[in-house]
Each structure stands twice: as structure tokens, then as C-alpha cells.
């Protein structure tokens, strides 16, 4: 298993233009399934191609374990990449497609066939070895593309939005399969996506990029529960954002004054607040409790509407001049205009700087 270290990686295509990537530092552990996440144009695919050696960085270094690979061409980095469109040869059988990379690396026919067959077994496609890609479904083609990448036994596996062409149900099934395959093969994997749920469901750790900068890196739980900025909080999942001003600070927590009253909240380690500083409170919709009685850390609100979504009901509340969204499981019947109190425990509320 191989570690990947990115140090001060920057990329600018033309002098005077804004950098596509701006001094990215990242450490990816051996065997880790690591996600690069962000909106279109944030630089995540460029960073993946820099790791692969398809694009040269303007500045910075890339190390695989302790080896500096920054100047090495793609074929000498021992990486394998799976693209959105699978890039399978239509005139070759499934087995021939998987063997192709082994053959050009000098493997003899017997070795290449065994490694290709083993890889097809790992992705549960051994029974389709003699078929052509046109005879396979999208999910099956995705498995073949993975098998071809795994067969060459790369140091690092690179996946560029591999599920974007699949329907929603198949994407969910393939999330589990890709994670299983990566973990069983022990591969260090870097996976690019703009799909937040995909990253939350699959990643060991993830990095959120925005306009070429690294905003935050950490586990899915850390980034969802303790984002370090309004941008990260808004990009990863749903959130209620309430303008506030710090009234009191303690170790890792604060009390903030809002138009809805005083609210106690947690503070991310990167935020340094003083009394009177402006901030934004993040409250996730599923963290809120609907109550008939006033509770600690609560404020009054009135139901403006509700939508039943199967596993939960999404309520819209009016609270003063703000609209608050609440996700409630097994919700009882409630009527528009009914008044309640909405509350959340301080550990489920985060005080964020107003600007990243």
C-alpha cells in the first residue's frame, strides 16, 4: 500500500490568470479511500490528473511513499485511472480489455490471462469474460473498467466521477461495490466527485475544494458535523444558517445572540471568536426537535408547510423573519399555522466565521 503526499501543488495555465489550484497540501494514507469533493470548476479533476501525471503542476511536489514522482511521466508512476465513460475497447471481449494493460506492460500471455481473470472475479464479472462491452449494462461496464485498472496492480487507483453515467438506484449499489473492491485489493484510492452523498457514504476521508483552494480535509463525520466555514457547511448536506453575534465564549463552545434569542453552540477548532464578533450558526435539519413546550436552546416557530418524503417529513417553519427547515422521522400529523418550539442541543449547532 502506498501513501500520497501533495505539497504546495499549484496550477496556472497562463501568466496573469487566476490559479486553477492554489498551494494544495494533502496527505493520503496507505490503503485509504480518499475523496476530492467540490463544485464544478473547483480544480478537483485537475488535481487528480496531476497525481496521475497527465498534467504537470506549476509548483509543488508529489510523493508516493518517500519517492518524489513530480517529474515522472504517467507510465512510470504505476497509477491506474477509471474515467466517467469507462473507455473500453468495443472490438475486444471483456477479458481482452482487462488483459490489454498487462500486455503492454510486458506480461506474458499466461500471466496476463491469470491476472485478468483474478481481477474479473474480484468484481464478480468472470462469467462475462467472452462478451463485448456493447453486450453489458452500464454497471457491468463500470465493473470491467475497475477490473482493468486493478489488474495492473497500481500503486494508486484514480477514479474520476465513475458513477456519473449510472441511474440513481445503480449508483447506490455501485457505491458499496467500489468500496468493497478498493478495500479488498488494499489499494490507495483517490476518487473525484461532486456528489456529497456519494462521498459521505464511501470515503475514509475527504477534502473539499473551492475555487482552487483546499477548504477542509477530514472524515465524513468531521466535515458534516464540524465544518470550518459556511461554504463547506452549505456544500455538504442541508443546513439552516442563522446570523448571530458572539455574546460569550468558552472552551470549544459559545453563546450567540440572534433575532431568535440566545443560542448555545459548538465552535470548530479553526475558528477564533471574541465577544461581539459576527458569526453564522449552522443547524442541520435532522438535529432539530419539534416541541409543544419551551426547552433549553429553543425558539418559537410556526409551520408554513410540510412534504412527506417517505423516511422523513420535511417541515418548513417561519421563525421571525427566517425560514427554518426540519427533517422529522415518523412525524405526527401537523397543520399549517400551528405554533411550536424548535430546539437543538449545543453539540449539534456550530458557530462559523461569516467568511471563509
Instruction: Quick: pLDDT tens for 248-278.
Output: 998 888 999 999 999 999 998 888 888 999 9
What's the average model confidence in pLDDT over 275-294? 95
- Report which of 174, 211, 207, 354 is spatially closest to residue 271, judged by C-alpha positions: 354
Domain boundaries in the chain?
4-225, 238-352
What's the average model confidence in pLDDT over 214-239? 94
What's the average model confidence in pLDDT over 186-195? 92
Pairing label, strands 349-352, 278-283 = antiparallel
Residue carrying the nine cell digits 437543538: 344
Cα 213 to Cα 230: distance, rounded to the nearest angstrom: 15
Q: Give domain 238-352's CATH superfamily.
A: Nucleic acid-binding proteins (2.40.50.140)
pLDDT > 70: percent of the chain: 99
Higher pLDDT, 85 or 50: 50
- Give phi and psi for 125, each to the nearest 5: -125, 15
pLDDT of residue 356: 40
Report helix, strand or coil for 20.
coil
| Cα 47 to chain centroid, rounded | 15
User: b/e string for 24-47 if b means 16 or more Cβ within 10 A?
Assistant: bebebeebbbbbbbbeeebbbbbb
The alpha-carbon radius of gyration of the chain (Å, integer) is 24
Choice among 142-151, 197-206, 258-267, 338-347 with the minimum mean pLDDT: 142-151
What's the average model confidence in pLDDT over 173-191? 88
The domain made up of 4-225 has a fold known as: Rossmann fold (3.40.50)
pTM of the model: 0.88
Amino acid at each position: 500500500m502506498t501513501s500520497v503526499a501533495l505539497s504546495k501543488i499549484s496550477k496556472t495555465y497562463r501568466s496573469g490568470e487566476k490559479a486553477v489550484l492554489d498551494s494544495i497540501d494533502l496527505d493520503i494514507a496507505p490503503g485509504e479511500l480518499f475523496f476530492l469533493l467540490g463544485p464544478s470548476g473547483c480544480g478537483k479533476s485537475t488535481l487528480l490528473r496531476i497525481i496521475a501525471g497527465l498534467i504537470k503542476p506549476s509548483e509543488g511536489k508529489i510523493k508516493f511513499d518517500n519517492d518524489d514522482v513530480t517529474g515522472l511521466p504517467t507510465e512510470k508512476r504505476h497509477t491506474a485511472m477509471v474515467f466517467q465513460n469507462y473507455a473500453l475497447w468495443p472490438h475486444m471481449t471483456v477479458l481482452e480489455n482487462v488483459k490489454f494493460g498487462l500486455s503492454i506492460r510486458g506480461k506474458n500471455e499466461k500471466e496476463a490471462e491469470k491476472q485478468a481473470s483474478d481481477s474479473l472475479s474480484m468484481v464478480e464479472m468472470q462469467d462475462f469474460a467472452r462478451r463485448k462491452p456493447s453486450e453489458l449494462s452500464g454497471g457491468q461496464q463500470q465493473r470491467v473498467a475497475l477490473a482493468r485498472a486493478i489488474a495492473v496492480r497500481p500503486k494508486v487507483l484514480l477514479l474520476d466521477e465513475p458513477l456519473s453515467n449510472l441511474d440513481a438506484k445503480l449508483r447506490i449499489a455501485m457505491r458499496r461495490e467500489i468500496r468493497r473492491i478498493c478495500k479488498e485489493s488494499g489499494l490507495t484510492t483517490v476518487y473525484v466527485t461532486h456528489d456529497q452523498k456519494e462521498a459521505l457514504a464511501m470515503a475514509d476521508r475527504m477534502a473539499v475544494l473551492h475555487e482552487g483552494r483546499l477548504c477542509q480535509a477530514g472524515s465524513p463525520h468531521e466535515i458534516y458535523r464540524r465544518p470550518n466555514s459556511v461554504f463547506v457547511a452549505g456544500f455538504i448536506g442541508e443546513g439552516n444558517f442563522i446570523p448571530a453575534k458572539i455574546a460569550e465564549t468558552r472552551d470549544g463552545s459559545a453563546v450567540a445572540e440572534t433575532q431568535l434569542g440566545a443560542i448555545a453552540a459548538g465552535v470548530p477548532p479553526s475558528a477564533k471568536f471574541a465577544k461581539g464578533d459576527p458569526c453564522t450558526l449552522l443547524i442541520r435539519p435532522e438535529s432539530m426537535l419539534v416541541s409543544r413546550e419551551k426547552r433549553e436552546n429553543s425558539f418559537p416557530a410556526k409551520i408554513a408547510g410540510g412534504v412527506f418524503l417517505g423516511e422523513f417529513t420535511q417541515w418548513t417553519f417561519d421563525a421571525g423573519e427566517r425560514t427554518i427547515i426540519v427533517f422529522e422521522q415518523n412525524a405526527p400529523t401537523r397543520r399549517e399555522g400551528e405554533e411550536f418550539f424548535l430546539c437543538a442541543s449545543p453539540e449539534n449547532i456550530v458557530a462559523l466565521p461569516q467568511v471563509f
